[in-house]
Structure 1
Amino acid sequence: MKFKRVALYIVILGVLLGYYYYYEVHIPSKQRALKEKASRVFSLDKDEIGYIEIKGEEHVVLKKKGADWIIVKPLSTKADKATVENLLASLVRLKVERTIGIQKDKAAFGLNKPVLSIVIRAGQKEFRFALGDKTPTSMYRYAITSTRKGIFLVDAYEKESLDKGLYALRYKRVVEIEPGDVIGLKIERKQVSLDIKKGKDGLWILSGNKSFKVKQEKISSLVRRLCLLEAKAFPGHAKGVDLARPDIRISLYTGKKSRELRFWDRSSHLYMLSKYHKGLVELSRDILDDIPKGQKDIQDRTFLHFVRDDTKSISLSYKSRKEGVLVKKDDSWFNADKKVEDQWKVDELLMSLEDLEYKRILDEIPTGVQPVCTIKLNTVHERGTMVITFYKGDYVSCGNSSYLVEKAGAKRCLDAAKDVNAMLDGHKEKK
């Protein structure tokens, strides 16, 4: 008898749950989806669209060719797929925020001469859309479309997401090689030639000089930047550029192919030839900062070799102050039993020490030069304590070795040491 009663309760509970799900979850969800669909300007999937014409700040026409998009007006060139995909996404999610209704005087809403007109085609169907003036609050713009009657409002920011010009839409990459595929590069400029390749261990080496220590991140960063270069302008040609005599040649090697990049440096402009664009393209000049001028620029002259994350304690004395100690516990730094508030200042000290480079190796620190700061590092590997002393005049000693270091690097280390010292003794100095 009890079993039948329990079974009856289970059946009733199941009916109630089914009722709740259908009327409280399924139907409202379906209604929301229908309402959302009804509020869209275009009831389309972006994959259906094969033609876009934009008349706004510029007049641009795009057509889909296979899986890619090409620009056919004002010139014929490859379009940037990601930018076009974002444009399509903006079009299909475009929502009607409020309906104004049918109005005879379109000029009153700026729709007789719209600031933006778009034509899209999906198969044999064509759809038109136009944006007019902003509303008095500037939150919305007046709009009309071929898919519905009357004037309506859309968010004002939609103009920026839809009004794309030629430069924004065109393909701007000038090299189509993935950085991870590059196994070597050759840099030639004036009388300098640097031939760099990856060794069996995956590290960059200078060809013909195995003892030369290469800055790994310097070369890896250069390769990444070269592979991801984008044109900032497309002049096609430039006065005074001899295509047969580039200022810089860089050859990138992969396992299957090589690609030669040629650069022309003309005062305020940097030009390059790319097989993916007609004629010269202009690049941002900041890439020149990454292209080495000689061996010195790629030589790793760091000398404080320790693993930052393995450092377990730091002892520091700055000028004449008493030595203070920081200890790492559970990936956080502590001064005695108190957790250090500005953890990043300790990290900056360690990073500045890691990055410190020498200008010259010395036999000893010059006589009479006064010490400024001493830092002692202990690591989890218990290789002993690394004692680093900074002196006036950018001199540094570490163990039995002495160096003259780069001025900027010494300043960065001492500024970081001063900040950490202020935390240790509670005294804040003016920089």
Structure 2
Amino acid sequence: MENRYFYRCTQCGREYAARHIETQFVYLCPHCGRAEPNAPLTGVLEVIYDYKQIAGVLSMQRFLTFRPGVPWQYPQLWPLEYDPATLQLKGLEPRLLHNLTLPSNQLLELEWEGRAFSVLDETRNPTFSFKDRASILVVLKAIQMGVKEIAAASTGNAGSSLAGICARSGLKAQIWAPQAIPQAKLLQIKAYGAIIHLVQGDYDLAFDQSIEISRQNQWYNRNTAYNPLTIEGKKSAAFDLFIQTNGRLPDVIFVPVGDGVIISGLFKGLRDLKALGWIERLPRLIAVQSSGSDALVRYMQEGKFVFKKANTLADSISAGAPRNLYLAARSVRESQGQAIAVSDEAIVKAQMILARKYGLLAEPAAAASFAGFLKLLAEAKLDRSERPLLLLTGNGLKDVEALKRIGEFGTARFSNGTKETGDVQ
């Protein structure tokens, strides 16, 4: 059990025993890891398993019988301690695990102008965002390690997620966020009883401050990508998708990208499935960014990172220095995908269509995936034979101000004063 997984640096390739990384609260590669202001992280770690051994005790046929949203059914694929005889996670009460599961019917089948597409709807998770997948794993690991307090930086969703999951689990949360955090997300964090620290600056400053102060106070840190379990937790979306499609994954997946951890987590889950021999190829991953926060798009075009302050209404994907930039770029490249940017106006229009045509209330960052889908369709860059899927990563009620941009009686109002009809028939 002790050697069933280890940590590997995604940059230099060095490998580290799990016990060393976890007991010493090591977050980045001890050799090349760096967390510097206004820059992507270097030395991000990932969890690697003995896939041959797992495939020998867990078949694909058995895996496909599991209920989506309950990842604790297959503990072999998580960096948590469990009893190999009973497959029960150690030190974690069944009632707690029951309270930390996700909806089982997230996959929706829709159509746009004769083109079928699927949606993985994460808006109904415990705190209404995709970030719960990471927070749940981080909290369970913290409980097994005897940790009582967890810190995180957030534009809103990661903070409200950690606050809510900690509240369900009896832990304390410390959240750093920019003063411009949407009011609904701020109220959500406060309602869960977390301590919130508002910084005089943007998310990048909140990220740096949270690392420094959590280090001083010896708090466990959940910061996205900085803690490798945030990537690991988000891979559960790939597993749930695999189960819900009965092993027939989509050909292309549209993913909203800010810091780059959701797309990297999805990529990690898909690679796990391939390493187990259950799929032959990976779906193409399409990273969708706002044109006002397009660091990944620029990095993949120019081959280098240049900091540029983010400016977008889609706060959840607003990151001038995406902390997981390099692994996000790798996820796009190795899946034969691409990174694209869409305007805030296109995001608002996509948000309106999702609400009025499909009854899906998504926040702007989540609607970016649909905006990216519409863009590639309009440019005839999506093959008719490809089966697309969109990730909807956060509920629209998390950003009420953004909803106000959608005017009444079918009119979307944009910041430049122009109007666009809301007729989506």
TM-score between both structures, scaled by the size of structure 2: 0.20
In proportion to residue count, which structure has more helix?
2
In proportion to residue count, which structure has more strand?
1
Which protein is bigger by CA-based radius of gyration? 1
